[in-house]
Structures are given as C-alpha cells and as structure tokens.
C-alpha cells in the first residue's frame, strides 16, 4: 500500500512513499495501470528530441560565427562558452515542455479515474498552465535549468579538445570530422 508522506502536500494531494523501484512500479501499475507507468513520456520524448536537435543546431551556428575569418581553431574556453550559449537558447525554447512533463508526472492520487487528473495530457497541461499562471508558469525552474546546461557545455568542450588533439596526433587538419 502507498503511504502518503504528510510532510509534503499542496493541500489537495499527498506524495506517495515507496520502498523501492519494484514497489513503486507495482503500486503504480495496480492503481493507475499502464497509463500511470507512462505518464509524462510524450513531453519527455518531444523535449529530448527538440532539445538535442536545437542544441546541436545552435552550437554549430555559434561555433561557425565565432570561427568566421579565423584560421586557427577555437579555444577550449570558446567552445565552452559556445555550448553554454547554445544550452541557454535551447532552454528558452524547451522549458515549457519540461514544466509540462514535470506536472504530468507529479499527478498523484488520480488512480484509474481520469476525472481526478488535473491534466489529461501534454497539450492540456500546456494550455492550463498558460491560462492559470501565464508565461511565468511555463518558465518555472528556468534558472536551475540553466545550471543543468553546464554538463553539456563541459562535454562539448572536452569533445572538441580531444578531437583537436586526436587530429593533431594523426597529422590531420584540426577540424577534420571524425
């Protein structure tokens, strides 16, 4: 049985407490069925695809802009800054998707009765958040999200530096594709 954690409540719903992943999955399955296990998957798939596509697009565009007219490769710092800028631009576009995903996943106590759900799906959640909270509601968590883009910036910087070193080791032009 799910034990509500009375230390956290928004006044309407209590967060369930699970004893582990297996207990969580079986409880969700028992109370909400297959739909409960996949709650929030649509925005997650859309968000991940859009985020990585936009991230690569912005990163390559920013990198090309900074490299324009230069003969030498960009420095590690320039790659880091380019990737951070790309991450921030991507978050500006995709933050509403992540807010929606979080809201869908955090719908508790709805059980198998769809009428108890605050949101019926991704687009319903987007519309309701916008109508009740405005643009600010769709951009909740934006500042912490900016910190979350730092891992991508570090990965891109490391990748570019390792690629440069590898191409030098192989006596290739520095921007040769791997």
Q: How far apart are CA 100 and CA 172, in angstroms?
A: 46
Taking only the tens of pLDDT, the chain with its 178 residues reads 444 444 334 444 567 788 999 998 998 888 878 888 887 788 889 999 999 999 999 999 999 999 998 888 899 999 999 999 999 999 999 999 999 998 888 886 555 555 667 888 889 999 999 999 999 999 999 999 999 999 989 999 999 999 999 999 999 987 788 8
Structure tokens given for 71: 């003969």
Q: How far apart are CA 153 and CA 157, in angstroms?
A: 6
Q: Where are the domains of the chain?
A: 1-38, 40-169
**Domain 40-169 adopts which CATH fold?**
Mitochondrial carrier fold (1.50.40)
């Amino acid at each position: 049985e799910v034990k509500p954690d009375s230390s956290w409540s928004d006044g309407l719903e209590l967060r369930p407490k699970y004893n582990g992943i297996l207990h969580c999955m079986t409880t969700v399955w028992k109370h909400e069925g297959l739909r409960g296990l996949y709650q929030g998957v649509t925005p997650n798939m859309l968000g991940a695809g859009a985020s990585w596509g936009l991230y690569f697009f912005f990163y390559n565009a920013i990198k090309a802009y900074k490299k324009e007219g230069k003969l030498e490769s960009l420095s590690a710092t320039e790659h880091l800054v380019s990737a951070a800028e790309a991450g921030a631009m991507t978050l500006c576009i995709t933050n509403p998707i992540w807010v929606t995903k979080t809201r869908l996943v955090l719908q508790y106590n709805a059980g198998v009765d769809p009428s108890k759900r605050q949101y019926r799906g991704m687009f319903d959640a987007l519309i309701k958040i916008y109508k009740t909270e405005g643009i600010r509601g769709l951009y909740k968590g934006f500042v912490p999200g900016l910190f979350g883009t730092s891992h991508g910036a570090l990965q891109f910087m490391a990748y570019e530096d390792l690629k440069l070193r590898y191409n030098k080791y192989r006596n290739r032009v520095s921007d040769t594709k791997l």
